[in-house]
Structure formats: C-alpha cells, structure tokens
Structure 1
C-alpha cells in the first residue's frame, strides 16, 4: 500500500469523505524502536469526536483515533475480477432472497422481514435491501417486536465489500450492541463452464421435488418439517439433484433455482465416505446444464467463510467472491 508522494506521508481525507471507501495508515505504539504502522481499507462510516470508524470488507468495524493517522486517501471500489458476470450487490441480494424464500414475510420499507420457524438464518432474518422508510432506531424496534411475536431471535442480514453494500448499517448495528454472528461469501461465476465440466452426470437424477431419501442426505435439518419443505421448494424455477448408490440410497444432492439470467446453487452435499470422487462436480454440472436450458448464463451461491472444503470446491469451479454478508443478532434484552 503506497501513501508516499516525494517521500512524504499525507492525510488527504476529511469528515466530508464519510460514506466513501478509504485507505488509511495509523501509528500503533510509540517510543524508541516500537513504532509500528497499521493499514486499514474500508468504508469510512463515521468521524465523530476525533474517532474514525472504518468498516472493512469482512464486516468488522475498526475505530481509529485521528491523532494516530499518518496517511489517508479515498480509493475506488475493488474492480470485479475478469471472467465473472457483471452484477451489482443490490441485484444479487434480491435474486438470492427470491431463491431462498421464507414461509412468512412482511415489508418495512425496503427491508424484508423473513420467518420460517427457525430453519436457516437466511430464511429467518431481515433482508436489508434498501431504506426501511423509518428512522433506524424505530425500524430496529419494529424488527425486534416482529421476531419476538414469532419467538425467534432478531437477525438482520447485511452485505459488505462491494459498491452498493451496507457498511453504514453494519457500523450502526455494531454501535447499538448488535452482534455479528456469521459471515458468508456471495460468490458468482459464469454458468457455461460449470455445465461443460468433464463430469459423469449419467448418475444424477433431476426432479422438481425432494423425497425422503434426498432429505436424509440433507444435513441442515435433522427433522425436516413443513417449513423446511416450503423453503426448499420455493423460488422461481427449482431443480433438485440426487445421486443414488447401488442400494438406492442417496449419496449426493444439490439444489438449483433459476431466476432470469441467474442460477443459484445450494445444498450441495456428499456423503463423507463418497467424497473426492467427483460427485459434487457431477451434481453441479447436471444442474448447470438444466439452468442453461432455461436461459440462465450466470451462477451464484453462498458459502460460510469457515467452510473450507466447500470453498475449495467452488474455487475449482471458477466461483469468485463478489461480496460478503453477515447476520447481525440483536442482543437479548439489550439496546436496539
């Protein structure tokens, strides 16, 4: 990271740059031999009382005393990687919300409140897709009350790390005592190369509905109730993939929802004893070919940052991270 001009470090940001992406360098530690510089890149979400708040791509908010600044400048958003589909964060967040629809929902301005009996955070959180149409504290009180009526914790899903994401909301929730519990990546890729994978798709059966064998392989719900089935089957055009073994038991599964140009992949799972045999790639390829037949050209999926095996698989299939999203939970009995 380069801040020098003619050998000098200079601060070129002011309070007027709140809301912009910035890169700053600050001094950590003082005293002989102990000076240390730390660099931070993210969205400048506030600058009050001599303290800057910068929200990073991963959703973390860093607070920096202005007295420690030695350099700073505004920087452009990170460019999209080549060979990945052109897409904005708001477009992807809306597509992803349609692809994993809740059992029950309500709208608060452009916030979609979603509930599905607790099955997955995505289907039981607020999709903050824009402005709630109310002052933030009032909106948060409405959110807490809506989820309390359903005996569910209040979560808000917030994206960070791309143009159009919600670093300001992440910082505001952090300052109000909400807790960031889960971070995931929303990844995208061109669809055709996935359909062109050299994978044995002859064993993959595609259906419009799941059966008991598919559900036994699905690890997100040990006892799937009606809300699980409703979420899984919801979406514009949903396909399920299953690979049976010789005894007819399903050893690999997947789900794909086609929505215009987008094909959203989820629930790609392989029995542990059958992994590293190409089954996950076969499931992805079979679903991709069906989505291509329906006119899709781009793919997306969501994967938690600590799921190393899945991330390695998707790396190999050409998926790149478009942005991150996080589930913020209201502190029990705490401030809104």
Structure 2
C-alpha cells in the first residue's frame, strides 16, 4: 500500500515526522509530495501517480475540487477562532435579527462552526450555515440549493439568494473574491480571525465585473489564444480543454495548449505570438490578476462569452469551468457550424 502526503509549503517542515508516524501506525509506505505542480489547494494527482500512490492525504487549505482518479482525504487543520468575538462582530454587522444570512468560511475554521452556530441560531432564526462537501452531488439539486466551491447550503426564502446577505469567516483572499463575484447579488461582510475584526466588504463588485468584461472584449478581438493548463487533477479538465479548442476553432482563432506549471509574467512573456491566454484551473485559482502580465489572462467562462454566440451575459459570473460542460447547470451548446460554402 502506497499513500501520498501533500503539504503546503508552510507545513513541509512537519512532513517527515508525520510520514514516520503514519508509516508506524498503518504499515503503508508514505511519500511526501514536496513541490506541487500547480496550486497547493488542489490535489496533485500527477505527482501522486509518479510514485504509484493509491490514495492522497491532502493537508492544509483546499479548494475541494473533485479529483479524477484517486481517493482523497482532506485534513484542513484547525486555525484558532475566537467564537465569542466572531459572534459579537456578527451582531454588530447584522443588528436586525430577522436578517437572512448565509455563513461561509475558510476550511481551516470548519472545526469551530458548530459552536458558532449554537451561539447564533437562537438569536437569528433565518441564519444559514453552509456545509463543506467534496465531490459532485449524488443527485439533482433541490430547489434553492446551492453547491459551489465545495460549499453547500439551502435557501428557502421566496426571493432566493437575492434576499440573503453573506458572512465570511476568514482572511481576505482569492476565495472571498471568487465568492463575491459568483454571488454578486448578495452584500458581503467578513470576520478576519487573525485581526479579530469584522467589516462590510468594500470590493466594488461592479467595477471588478466591468474589468472582467473588458477582458472578454480583448478575447473577442484576439487572433491567437494560449490555453494554459493550470490543473491536471480536477475532474473534467480534459473535457474542457477539448471544448475550448473546438470553441476557438469555430471562432476562427488559432490556439496553442501550454503546460507551464504555475503561470507568471516571465514564463508567459516567452509566447509573443499569443494575443491572450485562458487559464484552466480550479475555481479558486482561475481568477488570475494579469495586470503585470504581457498579455491578459481570462477564464474559460470569459472565453465562452467572447466566442460562443449563443451565450450572453446575464449577470451571473462563473469561476468553475465544470459548470460549462455538457450536463452542467450553465452549459450552452455551440450553434451549428456554418459550412464554408455558405459562409
């Protein structure tokens, strides 16, 4: 039996001791994945397969994107959370006790959510605590159920999510930005456990969306597109790569598929012929700030907006590329190809 142990950089110092204890307790061979191929939040199936691992133990923060092959056990860790201070911050931000609020949180604070729920549920009858889920749902979603970013919750109000606010427990970062763009109809507040401060989020979602829509126009004008492979483990990545190639071919654009590991300005500056890049990565890492890059970097959803005539901007933003695949909630078929003679 062979098991891969994947640690983020900040926990690698403990890897040898953990591996030794695990081998002594289980009798299985433990392999430490010392350098992840892409983001540390994703399970690195490629490195695990190199050592013939039959399972992966993933330590630390995780995006909870489902894997293609190997069984995965997540050990998030337990960062300290002052539940009393968090409760006070929530009361200050939501003085109206009938408020409908969905509580989201970084996975490293999942251990404290039960206590926080006990503190708040008696005062706020309409509060909704999200649950962490891994993998795809077993059946069709019920009305009002949301399952994105490895979080699941049920909204039973007549107006749905538009009647709700969002409260996030965790530090500012990519996860919060993705939540805010995806659920852009909801006002957001957050509590940072490190500083002990709660606040109303001031990210101008409309401005951020306008910036993303500007990139859609850049993609529409591009002649050559570089498809950046930002994951080799998230389920469906091969299907979306093929979908993007077909999409670009139909739009009359040339494309190159590039596997460059973690993208940075220096790497991408080598491809001067490329007008724009599209990054296929997990939902948490797909929103790359490309302001320092030689060419813009867009998401698969933004490329779809640019190149699929059947897809229109509805106000709903998607960061998970799996939502675009056949059978998914946001899939839209490409229009039939026009024969060359007719064109």
**Do they fold alike, i.e. is TM over 0.5?**
no
TM-score by length of 2: 0.24
The structure that is helix-richer by fraction is 2
The structure that is strand-richer by fraction is 1
- Which structure has more relative contact order (CA 8 Å, sep 6+)? It is 1
